[in-house]
């Protein structure tokens, strides 16, 4: 977005320098002003598209983080169950060995 603004600013500066000191007709000046305005509109459109893409990427990242958090919670619960089963089996083995 910053690069687009810089490019538009450079274009406007170039147009201003090339047209600023020369004596031209009003039609030529109007044409250059319209060209600069359309370039600025294109830059604004590109910046809006980039912002929308960044918003979509942020939403996708948030969804991925949510999925990863749920997976971590499920893995933690599974490990706790596994640890409980192991402890129970150890106790049963110890009881059978002591008899």
Centroid of chain to Cα 49: 12
- Max distance between CA atoms of the chain, in angstroms, equals 111
Summarised one tens digit per residue, pLDDT across range 31-65 is: 888 899 999 999 999 999 999 999 999 999 999 99
Q: Give the pLDDT confidence score for residue 27 in this predicted structure.
A: 79
Q: How many angstroms separate the CA atoms of 86 and 81, rounded? A: 9
Instruction: Confirm if 29 and 19 have CB atoms less than 8 A apart.
Output: yes
Place of tokens 């089996």: 89
Q: Give the pLDDT confidence score for residue 18 in this predicted structure.
A: 67
Q: How many angstroms separate the CA atoms of 41 and 46, rounded? A: 9
Q: Give the pLDDT confidence score for residue 30 in this predicted structure.
A: 84
């Amino acid at each position: 977005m910053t690069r687009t603004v810089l490019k538009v600013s450079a274009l406007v500066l170039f147009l201003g320098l090339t047209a600023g000191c020369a004596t031209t007709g009003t039609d030529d000046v109007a044409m250059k002003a319209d060209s600069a305005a359309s370039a600025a509109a294109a830059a604004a459109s590109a910046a809006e598209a980039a912002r929308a893409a960044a918003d979509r990427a942020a939403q996708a990242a948030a969804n991925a983080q949510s999925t990863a958090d749920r997976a971590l919670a499920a893995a933690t619960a599974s490990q706790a169950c596994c640890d409980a089963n192991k402890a129970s089996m150890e106790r049963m083995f110890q009881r059978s060995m002591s008899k």
